[in-house]
Amino acid sequence: MTVARPAVLVVGSLHYDIMVKADHLPRKDETAVGTAWYPKFGGKGGNQAVAVARAGAACRMFGAIGDDAFGRFLRRALRQGGVDDSHVATLAGHGSGISVAILDGAGDYAATIVSGANLQMNPSALANAGLWRDIGLLILQNEVPEAVNLAAAQHARQRGIRTVLNAAPARQLAPDLVRLVDILVVNAVEAEMMGADPVAGLVGASKAARRLADRFGTVIVTAGSKGLAAVGPDGAAFSLAAERVPVVSSHGAGDAFIGALGAALIEGVPLRAACQTASLAAARHVGTAEGPAATVVGGSRPG
């Protein structure tokens, strides 16, 4: 009898990303001149799901797309990325989620999202038993309604499945959801928005992780090029310096980190080693700007 490998379930957003390259990010009221643009598969949920699969773990996605060309592009990219899309709903009458991101010459970026179908996800669909078959880890983010995240975390807890919340973008979390989160992952800005002191390096990240651990137990605070700090379920704290790589683009690095972290955790890798694996994945992403899924280049449109 063949035993199925445990899989990661990602509940989250799917966005059709329009990427614009420019020498600098525009200031208020400024019209900056770009040098190139291209569409890309995105959404924190979609990016993390494909990053999980890329890291070698089985992954299933729960999400929603519109009945449009962007939605077809997103579904095709999920399948090409090795993600089970059988629980991604196509919603008639709603447009797919999109984002516009501007990348500057230093590799930094700014983005705006329009959530579209992501805001119409049906929490009751999370009760489908087939969705949870062979699932050993749940990953959530904050680009979908909190009612969806809460329902997913409740189902996971009932099944004894750990929940990872990448609380991005940062927002006020309901106490009921906080109680169901097993591992919180935030960057420096998000940690500060959730009540920690400003994070300027690993010392600040360590302090932020300890403060947030009072509410969440296991916490990982990433500090970009400085590295990360974490507090485990037993209260043990550690920090890891980041790998030094030339920066091509930081866009999507956090999603690469989460995907690799989830893939390691589902295989039973201890937290510190899982963080090391995830940090390496994020560094490779920053140094190569490889997208987490197939990219259509040259300004072509989805078919």
Distances in whole angstroms, Cα of residue 144 to Cα of each of 11, 62, 114, 207, 286: 9, 11, 11, 29, 26
Residue tagged 């090795």 (tokens): 82
β strands within the chain, DSSP E? 7-11, 15-22, 34-42, 58-66, 84-91, 97-103, 109-114, 135-141, 162-166, 183-187, 218-222, 227-231, 237-241
Q: Which two tokens stand for residue 14?
A: 């799917």
What is the amino acid identity at position 62? F
Residue tagged 């893939």 (tokens): 263
Number of residues written out for the chain: 303
How many C-beta neighbours within 10 Å does residue 19 have?
23
Is-catalytic flag, 108?
no
Distance CA 111, CA 20 (A): 10
Distance CA 41, CA 76 (A): 10
Among 17, 84, 182, 255, the active-site one is 255
Our CA angle for 58, 249, 222, nearest 5°, is 65
Would you say 100 and 75 are in contact if contact means Cβ atoms under 8 Å apart? no
Distance CA 258, CA 141 (A): 10
Active site residues: 255
